[in-house]
Structure 1
Amino acid sequence: MIGVQLINFREKSLLLFCGILLCGCVTTNPSIERKNYFPWENDTGYTQVVKNGNTLYISGITSEKASFENQVDDIYTNIKKILSDYNVGTDAIVKEVIFTTDIEKLKSAIPIRKAYFDGKYPSSSWVEVKRLWSESHFLEVELVVVLP
C-alpha cells in the first residue's frame, strides 16, 4: 500500500511540476511591440516589424520597381528607413534571408547590396524560389536586428 501511495505521490508531483512549467510558457509578453509600415499589412494579416526586447524581426520586404537592380536598391532604402525609426543602421542587422526568383541576378547585384552595409555584413542565406507574392517581385528580404 505504501508503494502505491509513493507512486501516486510521484505522479502527482510530476503533473504539478509540468502544469507549473506550462503555465510559465503560456504567459503573454507585454513588451512585444508591433509596427506596420504599409496599409495592406492588416489586410494580409501580418506585421512588418515586431520588436521583442532589443530584437527586431522584420518581415520580407519587396519592391514594385521594374528592374532587379532597382528592386535591390529600393528594398535596402526601405530597410534603412525602418532601421532609422529605431536609431540604428544596417550594422545592427544580424541575420538576413533573401528569397529570389533569380540567384544569378542576385549575385550580379552584390555591389548594390554591399553598398548599404559599410563592410559590416550580417549572417545571410540566399534562397532561389519559384515565385514570390507577386509575379513582379524578384526578391524579398527578411531580417533580424539587434538593438543596442
Structure 2
Amino acid sequence: MSKVERRSEKHGVSWEDEYGYVQAVKHGDTIYLSGQLSHDGEELVAPAPVDSDGTVTDFGNMGAQLRQTYANAAKLLERFGASLDDVVEEVIYTLDCDALFAVAGPVRKEAYGRPDPLVASTMLGTTRLAFPEQLVEVKFTARV
C-alpha cells in the first residue's frame, strides 16, 4: 500500500503558531482549507465596529470581509496549483445570517466567476468568531 501525499500551507500570520494549525492541507487529490477570514497579513480587512463589550454594532462590512475571505482562499489554492474552480464545498460561518444573505450572492458569483457557482454551500449562524471584529469565516474543500 502506497502512502498518500500530504502537504500543508500557511499564510504566515501569528495566530497560526499561537493556535497551532495550518491554513490548508492537501491529502491526495483533496485540499482542505481551514476557516478563512478577511485579513491582509496581521490586519483584518474591513473590521466591524464593536462597542466596549466587543459586540458588533454594524454589519455593513460583511461584503468587504467576504470578498477578502475568498481572495485569501484563492491565494492558498494557487499554491497547490488549484483555484476556486476546484472548490466543491464551502461552509460559511457568520454572526448575522440576514446580513450575509443580503451580500453573499453577488460576492460568491464574482469570486467563482459564474452566475451559478457549482459549489455545495452551507451557511451557519454563530455567536462568535475568532476575532470580535470578524463577521464571517469560510471553510473550503477542493478536489484536484
Whether these two folds match at TM > 0.5 is yes
Which of these two proteins has the greater Rg computed from alpha carbons?
1
Q: Which one of the candidate residues 64, 72, 75 is aligned to 1:78?
A: 72
SS at 1:137 equivalent: coil
Q: 130, 133, 143: which one pairs with 1:133? A: 130
2:81 & 2:35 partners in 1: Cα distance?
20
Instruction: Give the 5 Å matches for 1:24-63.
Output: 29=3, 31-40=5-14, 41-63=16-38
Q: What TM-score, normalized to structure 1?
A: 0.75
Q: How far did residue 30 of structure 1 move?
A: 6.1
Q: Is the 8 A contact 2:25 2:32 kept in 1?
A: yes
Which position in structure 1 is the counterpart of 2:141?
Answer: 144
Structure 1: how far apart are the matches of 2:134 and 2:33? 18
CA RMSD of aligned residues (A): 1.6
Segments of structure 1 that go 5 or more residues without pairing to the other structure are 1-23
Residue segments in structure 2 that go unaligned for 5+ positions in a row: 39-43, 48-60
Q: Which amino acid in 1 is paired with 2:91?
A: V
Instruction: State the SS of the aligned residue for 1:131.
Output: coil
Q: Which has the higher strand share?
A: 2
Opposite residue 102 of structure 1, the aligned amino acid is D
- Does 1:93 pair with 2:87? yes
Q: Report how many aligned residue pairs link the two structures.
A: 120
- Give me the TM-score of the superposition, normalised by structure 2: 0.76
* 1:56 Cα offset (Å): 0.5
Instruction: Select the structure with the greater relative contact order (CA < 8 A; seq sep ≥ 6).
Output: 2
Partner of residue 9, structure 1: none
CA-CA distance at 1:145 after TM superposition: 0.6
CA distance in 2, matches of 1:38, 1:49: 12
